[in-house]
Amino acid sequence: MRWKNYILNKHSNNCIEFWTDYLNTKKDILYIHGLGFDPRTLNGIKTIYGINGTGKRDVLSIRYFQSEEEKDNDVSSKEVKDHEVELNDFLNKIDNVSRTTTPLITRAEQKSIASINAHRIVDSIDVLKPYSDIVVDISAIPRGVFIPLLHKILNLIDSYEDTVINLHVIVTENYMLDALIQDQGVEQSAEFIHGLSIRDLTNTQEFKEVWIAILGEKQLEQYEKIRNSVNPVSTCVVLPFPSKNLRRGDELINHYQDKLLNDNDFDMKNIIYADEQNPFQVYRLISNTIERHCQSLKIFGGTKVIVSALSSKLLTIGAFLAVYENKFFETKRKDLRIGIKHVDSISHKFATGSKSEKEEILKSNELFHMWIAGEPYKK
């Protein structure tokens, strides 16, 4: 397993200690982040770029627009514009900084194109070569964007042999803040993430499908759309445990019980419990589940595994790593096809709440750091 041994810094204090030590030597950094309405948008960059160090400190900001017309008219919420002003004020105090903004169009012809466009944000290794470290902050990047973005970057780094490029993923987690964010409509159908689809070749028609879903709050509509698009012989669900809210797993089972308990392909024995703060454990458990089903379904010729992440970004990273690794081996083994299926949200908004309530919730922000590729993984 590629990430059997890993580097994970939980909680803000650990992240600050890591980056303070890491930036003692010269590092040329490209920091990629989403410039969104989420109040966690600037937490990561202020933490890392606020630490003194030598080398380039470049920034690639992703701005979201639902259409070309919105982009041309620069239609953004007040929160987004305020964050951009705050970011520029912060960067103006730092030496050797260059910032570019990449617009990302999320919809065209009443259909999501976010996944496709996210795959194009970093179009070649030439974008990454000038840097020793790439930091992708997914705090304000939706799943349908950061999964194909990370897939593209990791592919480029894995294929580049001249020098080692380090890839870091950071995210500011706050489950109470997540509860205040509401989806404003979702896409009509579930689709595979660009670059992580299943090749439905003629010689895999007899393969049996397995669906692995990481459950999260307020995602019942997305769950139903994905379930209606797959035909699994086995449905496995991932629940968070341990978790800050010790009853969270029970509450999720209650939330999804009508769908799960009336599904002939679901068995309570197929529940996977994973630490909500350890994406590498999620990666390991999903990988083991994939291999177990491949062995048991070998008699049918092979297995198609569909993974869906409906939970936190930390758990989603674990799912992505499991799919990425197994996707790499697809060409070498004939018994497995794997992909990530997802339902994009059209837009998001904050639930109503007073300013003082939100400020109190923001005190629970915790920064996490995952070192995904580079020096620690080179033999």
CB 133 within 8 A of CB 166: yes
Total residue count of the chain as it appears in this document: 379
pLDDT of residue 201: 66
Do 277 and 361 reside in the same domain of the chain?
no
Helices assigned H by DSSP within the chain: 11-22, 43-49, 68-72, 78-91, 114-118, 143-159, 175-178, 220-229, 248-261, 279-296, 313-328, 355-362
**Spatial separation of the C-alpha atoms in residues 180 and 85, rounded to whole Å:** 24
In a domain, 253, yes or no: yes
Q: Strands 166-173 and 266-274: what pairing?
A: unpaired
Question: Residue 303's domain spans which residues?
Answer: 191-342
Structure token digits, residue 137: 């902050």
CB 187 within 8 A of CB 228: no
SS3 state of residue 225? helix
Do 145 and 88 reside in the same domain of the chain?
yes
In a domain, 315, yes or no: yes
CB 238 within 8 A of CB 215: yes
In a domain, 231, yes or no: yes
Do 197 and 138 reside in the same domain of the chain?
no
Residue ranges of the chain with per-residue pLDDT less than 70: 201, 352-354
Q: Does the N-terminal peptide bond of residue 376 adopt cis geometry, omega within 30 degrees of 0? A: no
Q: Strands 57-65 and 29-35: what pairing?
A: parallel
Nearest 5 degrees, angle CA 130-CA 131-CA 137? Answer: 135
SS3 state of residue 186? strand
In a domain, 119, yes or no: yes
pLDDT in tens, 124-171: 999 999 999 999 999 999 999 999 999 999 999 999 999 999 999 999
- Whose tokens are 């978790």? That residue is 243
In a domain, 348, yes or no: no
In a domain, 166, yes or no: yes
pTM of the predicted model over 0.85: yes
Do 27 and 123 reside in the same domain of the chain?
yes
In a domain, 350, yes or no: no
Considering only CA atoms, give the Rg of the chain: 20
* DSSP code at position 345: B
* DSSP code at position 298: G
Do 281 and 158 reside in the same domain of the chain?
no
CATH assignment of the domain containing 320: 3.40.50
Number of domains in the chain: 2
In a domain, 175, yes or no: yes
Do 269 and 324 reside in the same domain of the chain?
yes
Do 15 and 125 reside in the same domain of the chain?
yes
Cα→Cα distances 335→258, 332, 341, 355, Å: 33, 9, 20, 54
Conformational region of residue 142, where left means phi above 0, alpha means psi within -120 to 50, and beta covers everything else = beta
Buried b (16+ CB within 10 A) or exposed e, 307-344: bbbbbbbbbbbbbbbbbbbbbeeeeeeeebbbbbbbbb
Do 170 and 258 reside in the same domain of the chain?
no
Do 118 and 23 reside in the same domain of the chain?
yes
Do 59 and 202 reside in the same domain of the chain?
no
Do 14 and 34 reside in the same domain of the chain?
yes
pLDDT of residue 203: 75
207: amino acid identity, one letter: F
Do 33 and 168 reside in the same domain of the chain?
yes
pLDDT of residue 105: 95
Q: How many CB atoms lie within 10 A of CB 158?
A: 15
